[in-house]
Amino acid sequence: MELIFEISKNGRRGFIPPKMDIKPYKLSSKYVRKSSLKLPEVTEGDVVRHYTNLSRLNYAVDTGFYPLGSCTMKYNPRLSERIASLSGFAEIHPYQNPETVQGALELMYKLGESLKKISGMDAITLQPAAGAHGEYTGIAVIRKYHRDRKDFNRDEIIVPDSAHGTNPASSAMNGFKVVEIKSDDRGMVDVEELKKAVSSHTAGMMLTNPNTLGIFEENILEISKIVHSAGGLMYYDGANLNAIMGQIRPGDLGFDIVHFNLHKTFSTPHGMGGPGSGPIAVKAFLTDFLPVPIILKKGEKYVLDFSLKKTIGKVRSFYGNFSVLVKAYAYILIMGEEGIKRASEMAVLNANYLRTKISKILKVPYNARCMHEFVASTTNLQNKNIKALDFVKRMLDYGIHPPTVYFPLIVHEDIMVEPTETESKDTLDRFVEIVTKIAKEANKNPEVLKSAPHETPVRRLDDTKAARHPILRWKEN
Ligand SMILES: *Cc1c(COP(=O)(O)O)cnc(C)c1O
DSSP category for residue 19: P
Classify 79-334 by CATH class. alpha beta
Which DSSP helix (H) or strand (E) runs through 193? helix 191-197
Q: Is the CB of 164 under 6 A from ligand 1?
A: yes
Residue ranges of alpha helices (H) inside 321-424 are 322-358, 388-397
> What residue ranges do the domains of the chain occupy?
1-28+36-57, 79-334, 337-467
| Atom 11 of ligand 1: nearest residue by CA position | 164
- Identify the CATH homologous superfamily for domain 337-467: Aspartate Aminotransferase, domain 1 (3.90.1150.10)
Residue type, 171: S
Q: Is the CB of 166 under 6 A from ligand 1?
A: yes
Per-residue pLDDT 10s for the chain (477 aa) are 888 999 999 999 988 889 999 999 999 999 999 998 888 999 999 999 999 998 888 888 888 999 999 999 999 899 999 999 999 999 999 999 999 999 999 999 999 999 999 999 999 999 999 999 999 999 999 999 999 999 999 999 999 999 999 999 999 999 999 999 999 999 999 999 999 999 999 999 999 999 999 999 999 999 999 999 999 999 999 999 999 999 999 999 999 999 999 999 998 877 655 689 999 999 999 999 999 999 999 999 999 999 999 999 999 999 999 999 999 999 999 999 999 999 999 999 999 999 999 999 999 999 999 999 999 999 999 999 999 999 999 999 999 999 999 998 899 999 999 999 999 999 999 999 999 999 999 999 999 999 999 999 889 989 899 899 998 888 877
Q: What residues pair up with 179 in beta bridges, in sequence order?
A: 158
Q: In degrees, to the nearest 5, what angle opens at C-alpha 201 toward C-alphas 314 and 162?
A: 75
Q: For the sheet containing 404-405, what is the strand order?
A: 374-377, 414-417, 404-405
Q: Is the CB of 163 under 6 A from ligand 1?
A: no
Distance 132 CA to ligand 1 centre (A): 6
Quote the pTM value. 0.92
Q: Is the CB of 261 under 6 A from ligand 1?
A: yes
Q: Is the CB of 237 under 6 A from ligand 1?
A: yes
Q: Is the CB of 132 under 6 A from ligand 1?
A: yes
* Pocket residue to mutate for ligand 1, from 70, 241, 277, most atoms within 8 A of Cβ: 70
Ligand 1 atom at minimal distance to the Cα of residue 134: 9
Q: Determine what percent of the chain falls in helix, strand and coil, rounding each to the nearest 5.
A: 40, 10, 50
The half-sphere exposure of 282 on its side-chain side, counting CA atoms within 13 A, is 23
What Å distances lie between residue 114 and 176, 246, 337, 379, 422, CA to CA?
A: 32, 11, 10, 44, 22
- Distance between CA atoms of 379 and 472, rounded to whole angstroms? 36
Question: For the purposes of burial, counting CB atoms within 10 Å of the CB of 379, is it exposed (0-12), middle (13-18) or buried (19 or more)?
Answer: middle
